[in-house]
Structure 1
């Protein structure tokens, strides 16, 4: 899913606000363990967002998705991440979303190689932390990547830009340090708060 790579570059709006694009109700076929309360809650909200977005005039009553709900959904196996990416978690603060995950860069790059020594750090398995400013307005999502760290070491901006140009943009055009993308299901605004995001549709 193209928008999910925005998450990996720090676009937590996808996980908070755009999860609705991939929502599906819980089924006993997905596992023998009953879903958590947070997972049940977010699935109800995602179904509401989908159904509301299908209306010619959606109800503009805000929908709040909590950090706990988003992380429960991310851990549920409902969504497919890019190859090599796992254990994605989000943390929300006003206007800021921090995404953490574990990335096998060799698997993610799928055999692509570069002789540029600046890209050598993007190999092997690392814990990745991405800090972004993110919001939604006018049916569009906006994300600026503030920083990316591998195993606690912040990546220089120019090296990050090289990685995005070489390995990300060929597969996900339009994704970069600054990204803008259409929000699904008539989502008009998405405001990141303390451990939650508030979504309105119209």
Structure 2
């Protein structure tokens, strides 16, 4: 579970996005992902983990996200991820008033980050040497790309105070002895060592 949350939150960095196509009634992909996450945790407990790759499919991840088993940060209503050779596209419906609850800023540049919006985040992501790396390439609200300086300001004022270490560029320790994490075509492949 820790691995899953780290992969999801770190990959989309600050802003997940919307439009889940997974059916909540289809439990096979959810159970498959739970089985793989349990295996990863148990494998990490070994002195010498099995180094065979574990494939987490996009279908499994999105079904798990849609299942209600993941508690998203305040303001994130749902999330869907798509992987494609080093790139992750996250789509979510975000209530920015909930995201910013209790934090106020009079900067007019940040006024776009209010109300409920469909958010799309495109990021490069990978893991190597037991470290995860994410670089957010772009963020769009309702199909309109947010200028980099406005995004940086939003992350600085509203995201980093709650989630230190998360930003446009993020580096973090991978859990459970994960050595590599590779975003492939509709999958994430992890190896442990």
Task: Decide: shared fold, TM above 0.5.
Answer: yes
What is the aligned length? 182
Q: Is this contact kept in 2: 1:5–1:82, CA < 8 A?
A: no
Task: Give the 3 Å change call, closer, same or farther, for CA 5–196 of structure 1 in structure 2.
Answer: closer
8 A Cα contact 2:14 2:155, kept in partner: no
Of 98, 104, 127, which aligns to 2:95?
104
User: Which residue does 2:44 correspond to in 1?
Assistant: 53
Structure 1 185/78 Cα, relative in aligned 2: closer, same or farther at 3 Å? same
| Offset, 1:34 | 6.7
The residue that corresponds to 2:10 in the other structure is: 6
Residue 64 of structure 1 is matched in structure 2 by 55
Aligned mate of 1:173, from 156, 164, 168: 164
Q: Once the 2 structures are TM-superposed, how far is the Cα of residue 5 of structure 1 from its aligned partner?
A: 4.1
CA distance in structure 1 between the aligned counterparts of 2:186 and 2:92, rounded to whole angstroms: 18
1:118 to 78, 89, 109: 109
RMSD: 1.9
Q: 5+ unaligned residues in a row in structure 1: which ranges?
A: 13-32
CA shift at 1:52, angstroms? 0.3
2:82 pairs with 1:78:
no
When normalised by structure 1's length, the TM-score is 0.85
Q: Provide the C-alpha distance between the structure 2 equivalents of 1:62 and 1:119, rounded to a whole number of angstroms.
A: 42
Offset of residue 73 of structure 1: 0.9
Deviations 1:154-188 (A, max 9, x none): 00000000000000111111111000011110000
- Tell me, in whole angstroms, the C-alpha distance in 1 between the residues paired with 2:9 and 2:126: 16
What SS does structure 1 have at the residue aligned with 2:29?
helix
Aligned partners of 2:11 and 2:123 also within 8 Å: no
Instruction: For 2:98 and 2:78, locate their aligned partners in 1 and report how far apart those are by CA, in whole Å.
Output: 15
